[in-house]
Structure formats: C-alpha cells, structure tokens
Chains A and B, each alone.
Chain A
Amino acid sequence: MEHVVIIGNGISGVTAARHIRKLSDKKITIVSAETDFFFSRTALMYVYMGHMKFEHTQPYEPWFWKKNNINLKKGYVSEINTDKKELFFAEGDTLSYDKLIIATGSKPNKFGWPGQDLDGVMGMYHKQDLENLEKYAPDNTTCKRAVIVGGGLIGIELAEMLHSRNIPVTFLVRESSFWNGVLPAQESAMINREIIENHIDLRLGVNLKEIKSDNNGQVKSVVIAETGEEIECNVVGLTTGVSPNIDFIKDADIETGRGVKVNRYLETNIKDVYAIGDCAEQHEAIGQRRPIEAVWYTGRMMGETVAQTICGNKIEYKPGHWFNSAKFIDIEYQTYGWVWAQPKENEARFYWEHESGKKCIHINYDKKTHEFIGINNFGIRMRHEFFDKILTEKRSVEYVLEHLADANFDPEFYKLHEPEIVAKFNKENNTNIQLKKKSWKRIFSA
C-alpha cells in the first residue's frame, strides 16, 4: 500500500489528507512538530481573548483521525532524503514515504533588528507564540505596554488581542496608512480610525530601529528609527509578514526559491514530492495572484487539488476567482475579485461609505466595458456565490448594482443600504439604475 506522508498539520495538509482518504485507502501519515491535532491557526487570537479554549480551535474531535485511518506523528523533520524517500526526525527516528507532501506553512519574518531574539519578543503565528504571549502579557500589570511592529492582518489582530486585556498598545506601521499596499486609501483610512477609536496608539510611517534589553535579557523598550523616540514596553510583537517555513529542506535536492518551487500540478522538481499551502511557490504566478499566497483559502484549495493528483486524477491547480476576508477589530471585511490599492489604467472605481464611517463598499470595474472586476465590502456581508457567478459571467457594474439586494448576506432585519448605494452611483455616473428586489429564484439558481 502506498504511503503518503504529509509534513504539516495545517489546513493545507489536513485538507489533502481528508481528500486522499475519500479517494483511496492509501496509508496516510501527517507529521507535525507544533501540535498533536489540527487546529485553526486563524483562531489562536480568540484563545488569548478568552472567546474560546484551545480545544475549540480543533475542527475535528481526536477520534476522527483514527476512525479515518489517518496516522498522526509528532516530530520535527530535520532532513529529507529524496533518493531513499526517507524523512529524518530531529528526535532521531526515520520515516519512509512513497509520496511526500510538504505543507509546512509559514514562519514570521524577522529583519535582523538588534534585540529581535530577546525574551518578550514574539510573532503571532504558532501555538508556541500564544503560549509566549500568555507568559509575557497575561495582564496589564505584567505587561505595562506592548509594541507591535508591522501593519498587516496579524499586526492588527495582535493589537486587538492585547487591547482585550486592557494592555496599552503602540502600533508601529511602516506605511503612511494601515495596510495601504493592499487596501485603497478610503478603506485604509477607515481602519486607521477604527484602530485609534479602540485607544491603540497608532504610529504611521515609522520603522523599528532596535529593541533594547533590560538586565535579564528581556525587552525593556523599542527605539523608533525616524524620531529616535524610545518607547518603554514589556512585549514586542513582530508582525512584519511571513515567509515559507522551509529551512529544513535547504540541504535536500528539492528546488526552492523563497518557497518550495512547484508547477501547476503542485509537483516539485523531485518525483513524488509535492508542496502546497503557504510554503509553495508557483514558478509563474497564476493570473493576478502572487507566486506565494499565504492565505487560508488557497491552502485549502491546493489540498483539495493535490489529493486528486496523488490519487490518479492528475489535475492542475486552478484557483477560481480571488476572494478573501478578515476582521479589523469590529469591522468585517470581505473581498471578491480584485480591488487594488491603486486603480490600474483601465479601471474605474465606485466608492460608497456609510455616514457612521464603519461601513463601505468599493467596486472596481473596467472603464470602457464596465465589466465588474472586484469589490471590497467593509461592515456589510456579501454572498460569495453571487460574486463568483458575476465574475464568471463577466457581468457589468450596472448589473451588480441592480442586483445588490441579492448579494447582501447581512443577518435578517439589518438595515439595508442598497438604495443609498445605487442612488450615489446614479448621481455620480448620470445613470438610472433601478435596484431590483431580492429574488430567491436568482440567488438559488446558481
């Protein structure tokens, strides 16, 4: 019986294992050094905030693995011998495989700052980071202030986490506005306001110079490069992005760039070795996507796809229309299709913001053809199916606005802003789009 070994028990590896099991009775082993069982990494923040216990982040009960005949092995793979098809563990043992899937995810970036390895300096990625945070920032007497370096999704989550325990937070963001490499200016400004309203000390356009130590090797303060200001703190969160977690294969024959290089079949240069998820790097970017996508959803899709290939139904990794979501403290965010921070030459934009300043939508469409390209929605939920269909059918922005009621996914009784949104578009574009009533028929015809 063929033995499929998966290194990494995150969403990519576990999705692959589940689908391989559905398609075959191959022997499957999932290897992880981090935890015994699969957990949702994106939910770690809720454990610190007290919304959940760690066990709640595990989507499957412990019996699931045995019942589905998926072996779990805890161990740290230190070396891969692709000739002998064998893994060597730091603990000393070995494991041979017939097919190998590398799904080791990411690790937090560090950029060589002085003091970046002091006690109390941490990322927010692994379960161990959570334990560290619990140790150094259990409350606001142990941790009188925390400084977060890096304005991305993990940065703002870490800020929200610390804020939930009333720990004062200073948030150092390199960009002139939060996440404005991804978000257009209006949305970025909205999130700036949200951060400040939550009493987080947001510093825009600043870089970290160094982290200073006290006599015990613990964080004492950070120094800002631009101003030389020193901020006293007990914890420093480094959230300046992630990169593929592939140090352990540097010596193997597997081709790597920033990540493990894969073709569209998620195959590496070595036969029977695949890579999926955050650690996989496409030789050439797919569509407008980046060669490495450290996103939950793409990891899952690669897992779904590679399982087919391994089970004999060789299939290309072809992710569909881009979508993503996040939550910025109290503001939910979803996006379907592409809305770049800066409009491209052929693109026009329509932006509507609610008077509360906490909801908005931003639609990107083609200037000439009016084809819908993408939408950002903040504080309003939208149907994934609706926009997926719109993008597939290449509908126009007018069509989208006309059917906005179908798209809405807010809970029942929520105030709907569609008439206001359509009116604004009509006014700005001298159009006469009439909002159609919500139609179950259209919604479920997909």
Chain B
Amino acid sequence: MKAIKHTGLVIFLIGLLIFTASIFTGNFSLTQTEVDNFIAEKGYKSEIIKTELSKAVVGKELNIFEFSSNVRNAFDTSNKHYDDLIAKYDAEKNWDAKGQQYQYKIYGKPHTLSYNLAKKAGSGFIKENAGLMWFLTFGLGIIGALLFIIPNLILLGQPGIKNNGIYLESPTNKGLIAWLVLIFLVSFYLVLYFMPDYIVNWTYILDPISKALNGGEASQWFVYGFLYCVIMLVMGVRMYIKYRHNKYQIIRTTSVLFFQIVFAFLIPEIMTSLNMPGYDFKNAFPLDYDFFFEWNLDSLRNSGGIGLFILVWGIVLTLIIVPVMVYFFGKRWYCSWVCGCGGLAETLGDPYRQHSDKSLNAWKLERWLIHSVLVFSLVMTLVTLYCYFTGAESFIGIKSQWIKDTYSFLIGAWFAGVIGTGFYPIFGNRVWCRFGCPLAAYLGLVQRFKSRFRITTNGGQCISCGNCSTYCEQGIDVRAYAQKGENIVRSSCVGCGICSAVCPRGVLKLENGPEKGRINPTDILLGNDVDLMKLVNEK
C-alpha cells in the first residue's frame, strides 16, 4: 500500500513538473497579416503601434517571455511616443494638438494585451498535442494524486478520526514542504492575476475542452476554473476517505463539489455557448463584487429576458435568500455547503485547517478586517451605482473607476487569491473567509444576531482537550465555550462540523433549534450540585 502511495506521489510530481515546465515551451510569432488584423479588430488608432508590433513579433521565433517583453515594449513605445507629444504640445500650450493625441493611446494592462496576442501567436508541441499534453499534466496529476490518496482507505485503519502525525510531518506542520507549497501557490496566483500571458500554454491544453463546452477557446480563467474543479474533485475523494465515518462531512463535501462543478463551472460555460452572459447563480453579492459594475449591468441589460432574470435573482439572492437561509440553517448553508471559496478550503485546504490562529488578538483583527472589507465593498458599490445612474465620474469625492480598480486589486486579487489561497499551508485554509470575505461578514452578522443555528455543548462532558479549537479552520476557540458548558454562537462559524467530528467525548453538535436558550452562559456546569448551579448560573 505504501508503495502505491509513493508511486502515486512520484506520478503526481511528474505531472506537476510537466505542467509547470510547459510554460517555458513553444514558439511565439505572428505574421504581418495577423498583426494587421489584430490592430484592425482592436481599432487602435496609434500610427506607430503597427511598426512596433511588427518589429517585435513578426517573423521571429520567441519563447513566451521574450514575446511578452517585446509586445509590452511595443505598446510602451507607442504610448510613450504620444505621451512625449502630449508633453510637447502642453509646453507649447497647443491645446488642440495636445487633446488630439489622447485617442492614439492604448489602454489596458500590458500583460493582458500581451496575452491577447500570445493566444494567437503560439505554436509548438503543446498546441498541436493538446490531448496528449492533457494526459501528461492533468491526467498524471489526477492519477498520481488518487494513487496517493486511495490507499488511505486501508492505511488509515478503521474509520474514525485519524489526525495521526499531522503535527509531526513537514507538509502539515509548517515545515519546508509547506513553505514550498506556499511559494508555488502564491506564484501561481501572481501569474494568473497579473501575468496571464506567461501561462498561455496552459490555455492550449484546455482549448479542446473549452470549445466543446462553450464553443470558444480557453482563457486563463477557463484554465483556473477547470483546475479548481479538478483539484476539488480529487481532494474531495480525500475528504470522503478521511471522514468516511461521518455522514455530515460526506454530504457536505458532495454539496460543495456539486455547486462548484455545476453552478460555478458548467452552467456559466453553457450559458456562454448559448450567447448568454455566463453567470454563477450561487455567487452572491458582495462576494461577487463586480455584480453592480457598469459593464456587468450593461451586459445584463443587453441580454434580454435572461439578463433581467439574473439581475433580479442576484438582488433577491443577497437581500432575501441569503439572510433567510442563515436564519434557518446558519451561514454554513453558504460557506461550507455552496461557496466555491469555501469548497476549495474544505477540500484542498483541509490538511491545513489546524493553522488558523486561535488567539484573542487574531479574533480582534478578524472583526476589524472583515467588517472593513464589507464597508469597503458597500461604499464601492454605492459609488459605482450612483455614477452609473447619474453619469457622474465620482461620488462623495471618490472616483468610481479608482475605487473599483483598488478593490479589485487589493481585495479581489491579493486578499482573496494570493493571500487567501496561497497562504493555506502556513496560515490555514480560511484566511480569506475569516478575515476578508464581505459576504461572510454579512452572513456572520445575521448568524450572530438572528439565527436558529448554534453548536450545542453537551452539558458538562468537555475535558478541555483542545481538539475542537485546534481543528477549527475559522480560528474559533471552541473549547473556551465548550469547557464552560456554553453553546457556540459565533459570527465567523462556517459550520464545517469538524469540531464535532474530532471531539473525543461527543460534546459538540451543530444544530438548528429555537432561538430561546441558544446563548446560554453558565458558570457552574451540568453535573454538579443542582442548588449551586441555580445559585450561580441565574445571577
């Protein structure tokens, strides 16, 4: 069994290596016609971009990094040319000439411009052998990971909580391997968000699948979505095996897998293929922070009935469905049953759940941060909507474009992606959900003040062992409540149910019940002198 496991690990690493190395392969060049068509298609007015781009990429054999650098330089040169002219006319106070120059400037993120060209420019083994490459990367990765995971059915022994060795092994105890995984994940997110042209080769691998699903070629976001689903599925198998004695975990895992694969991935792809706006029906504002951005509102308004439906659904989801469901079931219905971020945290992130910081200071930081992000997202949306309906560029002194860009960059990319997932191996799997997610903050407020959900503490049975606190991914010091005989009612609890699973004495149970008695502070625990309990607890 161990041999199978080790073989699996080697196969997985080979797949990962090929996947990573594939970035560095292929030739990138364009013909003059292709460049011309591209410029025409984009409607660039710059008179020198054609020369510059032709010089940069036509008839050359470049790797992606050279290609990217050349293209970005070409755009730079073109923009600089007009910037110089602007400066010149500015100095000459020739306002007309100065004003005319702006139309020649080319806006957009350099790496995105480069990505768009690179997508057309690539050739080589990967592009020509997408199927084989899929097998060598995704295929080997999946086979290897499953070979590594499935022997646990036997190696873990009888069904039950088997956290043996978690704090003795490097990958799960912040050792060298954990740091290597962190570096890999952070690099992945940095490239994905900020340098998509570097991973254009990955999109070739998935072009055939993308075409089959939505009729178009794969983008870096398609790669991300597909990878996300694959990782969740494989790590979901790990969850099924690890928690096979615990039906709550089995059903919950099935639920997050279903919502990720069907709602977040398949339905939007199919909608796109039907010329509808691709929409993830479970992605609620304000987690879906660009729902009220102009481009989205315009796109929905221009999509007829379905667009209108999505608009209404999105608003109803946030304002009615979300809080009503939280009232009945707690925020878990979303955070650990439906949400994609939660889904990744509960599958890929499960081996790292113990790293969340349980200190009181971390809790204070959490409350400040997450509610700040909620306010940030609401202010941003308010500004955006005001500007959208009035046509103004700013509101209460905040520029609409600036606040959207800032939020997208700081919260959307850095907090949710780079830090939220990249830091799994060191800070635990719910950094984003705990400290950053504005939707979680909103759900949390409802859960704390108006909900039937609680984690019931079973009388006086707690032995303060600390397993619940250790394995709480949200950094809740569960034991602090359990050892006082108190129910756990915390805004951050996502109801993953692991505290209840790891409790060796059957003390914790997630349940939805009457609001009365949900919060039950006690000083003297059940089991002691009845008179004393009454005397002290009723004070």
A149 to B470, CA, bound (A): 31
Knowing A40-B465, A56-B466, A330-B159, the reply to whether A319 touches B528 (Cβ < 8 A) is yes
**B391 CB to nearest A CB, Å:** 51
A319 to B524, CA, bound (A): 12
Is B160 a contact of A319 with CB atoms below 8 Å? no
A320 within 8 A of B: yes
B497 within 8 A of A: yes
Tell which of A43, A383, A414, A415 touches B458, judged by Cβ atoms closer than 8 Å.
A383
Encoded as 1 (CB less than 8 Å from any A CB) or 0, chain B from 91 to 122 comes to 00000000000000000000000000000000
**B273 CB to nearest A CB, Å:** 36
Is A384 a contact of B465 with CB atoms below 8 Å? no
Is B523 a contact of A440 with CB atoms below 8 Å? no
Encoded as 1 (CB less than 8 Å from any B CB) or 0, chain A from 338 to 382 comes to 000000000000000000000000000000000000000000011
Q: Which of A302-326 contact B (CB under 8 A)?
A: 304-305, 308, 313, 315-321, 323, 325-326
A327 within 8 A of B: yes
Knowing A57-B465, A315-B529, the reply to whether A51 touches B517 (Cβ < 8 A) is no
Is B167 a contact of A304 with CB atoms below 8 Å? no
Chain A residue numbers with a CB within 8 Å of B510 are 411-412
Tell which of B469, B526, B528 touches A384, judged by Cβ atoms closer than 8 Å.
B526
Chain B residue numbers with a CB within 8 Å of A384 are 458-461, 526-527
Closest to B471 in A: A51
Chain B residue numbers with a CB within 8 Å of A392 are 530
Chain A residue numbers with a CB within 8 Å of B530 are 320, 392
Closest to A331 in B: B160
B163 within 8 A of A: yes
B294 within 8 A of A: no
Tell which of A305, A332, A413 touches B506, judged by Cβ atoms closer than 8 Å.
A332
Is B463 a contact of A412 with CB atoms below 8 Å? no
Is B523 a contact of A22 with CB atoms below 8 Å? yes
Is A381 a contact of B509 with CB atoms below 8 Å? yes
B525 within 8 A of A: yes
A410 to B500, CA, bound (A): 9
B169 within 8 A of A: yes
B501 within 8 A of A: yes
Tell which of A42, A52, A313, A315 touches B463, judged by Cβ atoms closer than 8 Å.
A42
B504 within 8 A of A: yes
A385 within 8 A of B: yes
**B363 CB to nearest A CB, Å:** 11
Is B465 a contact of A409 with CB atoms below 8 Å? no
Is A385 a contact of B526 with CB atoms below 8 Å? yes
Closest to A388 in B: B526
Encoded as 1 (CB less than 8 Å from any A CB) or 0, chain B from 492 to 525 comes to 0000010011101110011101101100000111
Q: Which of A390-418 contact B (CB under 8 A)?
A: 392, 409-415
A383 to B529, CA, bound (A): 18
A387 to B169, CA, bound (A): 42
Is A320 a contact of B529 with CB atoms below 8 Å? yes
| Interface size counted on chain A using CB atoms at 8 A | 64
B464 within 8 A of A: yes
A433 to B169, CA, bound (A): 53
Chain B residue numbers with a CB within 8 Å of A51 are 163-164, 166-167, 467, 470, 502
How would you classify the secondary structure of chain B's contact residues: helix, strand, loop or mixed? loop
Knowing A319-B528, A334-B461, A381-B506, the reply to whether A49 touches B514 (Cβ < 8 A) is no
A23 to B73, CA, bound (A): 74
Q: Which of A138-176 contact B (CB under 8 A)?
A: 164-165
A12 to B96, CA, bound (A): 86
B321 within 8 A of A: no
B210 within 8 A of A: no
A197 within 8 A of B: yes
**B489 CB to nearest A CB, Å:** 14
A326 to B506, CA, bound (A): 9
Give the segment of B136-144, B145-153, B244-252, B375-383 that binds chain A.
Answer: B244-252
**B158 CB to nearest A CB, Å:** 5
A218 to B513, CA, bound (A): 58
Tell which of B166, B467, B497 touches A43, judged by Cβ atoms closer than 8 Å.
B467
Chain A residue numbers with a CB within 8 Å of B511 are 412
Q: Which of B233-286 contact A (CB under 8 A)?
A: 245-248, 251
Chain A residue numbers with a CB within 8 Å of B159 are 330
A319 to B460, CA, bound (A): 12
A297 to B525, CA, bound (A): 9
Is B514 a contact of A440 with CB atoms below 8 Å? yes
A330 to B501, CA, bound (A): 12
**B48 CB to nearest A CB, Å:** 62
A209 within 8 A of B: no
Tell which of B251, B360, B461, B497 touches A325, judged by Cβ atoms closer than 8 Å.
B461
**B459 CB to nearest A CB, Å:** 3
A301 to B165, CA, bound (A): 34
**B263 CB to nearest A CB, Å:** 22
Is B532 a contact of A413 with CB atoms below 8 Å? no
Closest to B529 in A: A318
Closest to B517 in A: A444
Chain B residue numbers with a CB within 8 Å of A61 are 359-360
Knowing A57-B465, A59-B479, the reply to whether A308 touches B158 (Cβ < 8 A) is no
A30 within 8 A of B: no
Chain B residue numbers with a CB within 8 Å of A320 are 526-530
A216 to B467, CA, bound (A): 39
Knowing A330-B158, A332-B504, A411-B246, the reply to whether A301 touches B464 (Cβ < 8 A) is no
B305 within 8 A of A: no
B219 within 8 A of A: no
**A416 CB to nearest B CB, Å:** 11
B4 within 8 A of A: no
A312 to B83, CA, bound (A): 84
Q: Which of B429-479 contact A (CB under 8 A)?
A: 456, 458-461, 463-467, 469-470, 479
Chain A residue numbers with a CB within 8 Å of B502 are 51
Tell which of B466, B509, B516 touches A52, judged by Cβ atoms closer than 8 Å.
B466
Knowing A305-B532, A323-B527, A411-B509, the reply to whether A49 touches B247 (Cβ < 8 A) is no
B306 within 8 A of A: no
Is B463 a contact of A321 with CB atoms below 8 Å? no
**A261 CB to nearest B CB, Å:** 21
Q: Which of B161-175 contact A (CB under 8 A)?
A: 161, 163-169
B79 within 8 A of A: no
A193 to B167, CA, bound (A): 29
Q: List 21 A-B contacts (CB under 8 A).
A: A22-B523, A43-B463, A43-B464, A46-B163, A49-B164, A57-B465, A57-B466, A59-B464, A59-B479, A304-B532, A305-B528, A308-B532, A316-B529, A325-B463, A330-B159, A385-B458, A388-B527, A409-B458, A412-B248, A412-B497, A413-B248
Give me the 4 closest cross-chain CB pairs, A-B, nearest first.
A384-B459, A330-B160, A381-B506, A43-B465
CB within 8 Å of A: which residues of B? Answer: 157-161, 163-169, 245-248, 251, 359-360, 456, 458-461, 463-467, 469-470, 479-480, 483, 497, 500-502, 504-506, 509-511, 513-514, 516-517, 523-532, 535-536
Known: A40-B464, A411-B500. 10 other contacts (CB 8 A): A22-B523, A50-B163, A59-B479, A61-B360, A197-B158, A301-B527, A320-B528, A385-B526, A388-B527, A444-B517
